Amino acid sequence: MFARNIMTKPVITVSPDTPVPEIVSMLVKRSISAVPVVTESGKIVGIVSEGDLIHRVRGDHETPRSWRLKLLSDHVSDPREYLKSHGRKASDVMSQPVETTTEFSSIGEIAATLESRGIKRLPVVDKDGRLVGIVSRANVIQVLVGENGTQSVADSGSDEKIRNNIQNELNDHSWGTGLFVNIDVEDGVVRLWGMADTDTARKAIELAALNTNGVESVENNLGIARFSAPRI
């Protein structure tokens, strides 16, 4: 599944010249937390979020700064802070550059980007860089919940296919291939036998099985290998 399959469209946008009060009103009326800023040609140039606007309400820009902070502050950032605090239009307060994704980015790639960047949403652009949609954390979570809640044995094929999928997942990780693990599947119920290197590996193997499409439940019978140092 790709971004194009889960993205929200059409996207509510503003122009660089949209007044800040209008943006605030839009966020409240539409019950959204951010709005992309696009040019007439549809190119995204920034995004205005609640985070960009919240310090205006707090009045941070009115708090006196100590001489130490003034001395250590970046002279380039100060004008930007002033623009965000006092700006009248979107181009003054928007965050830029904007992290974007493509229509054919996978759900996994999107989730990884959201997590690593610490952001809540990703605008989706076409090959020409024009905004075509937006993917939020909520979009990704809905897909994951849907997959976990609706998959069944019939959807994923035979028990043998489930077993192979689990084995393939374990083969991709060192903790899944360190010791012998026997995987038994019957009517979607997985039973794990054998030994794991550590208790953490044991739990990871169980989770890998549980996350496999078609799995109804997992019975984890794996033991923990206990290696003793040879006596000299």
Q: Which fold has domain 3-146?
A: CBS-domain (3.10.580)
Q: Band of the pLDDT at 156, cuts 50, 70, 90?
A: very low
Own/partner pairs, 223-228, CB within 8 angstroms, 24+ separation: 223/194, 223/195, 223/196, 224/195, 224/196, 224/197, 224/198, 224/199, 225/179, 225/195, 225/196, 225/197
Is the confidence at residue 113, as pLDDT, over 80?
yes
Residue 57: pLDDT band by 50, 70, 90 thresholds?
Answer: low
Dihedral sign for Cα atoms in the order 197, 201, 203, 208: negative
- Kindly report which listed range (52-61, 178-187, 199-208) carries the lowest average pLDDT score: 52-61
Domain 153-224 of CATH type 1.20.272: no
Which pLDDT score is estimated for 83? 73
pLDDT tens track for 9-32: 889 999 999 999 999 999 988 888
What average pLDDT does the segment 114-142 reach? 90
Instruction: Give the start-to-end residue ranges of the domains of the chain.
Output: 3-146, 153-224
pTM of the prediction? 0.56
Buried b (16+ CB within 10 A) or exposed e, 144-171: eeeeeeebebeebeebeebbebbbebbe
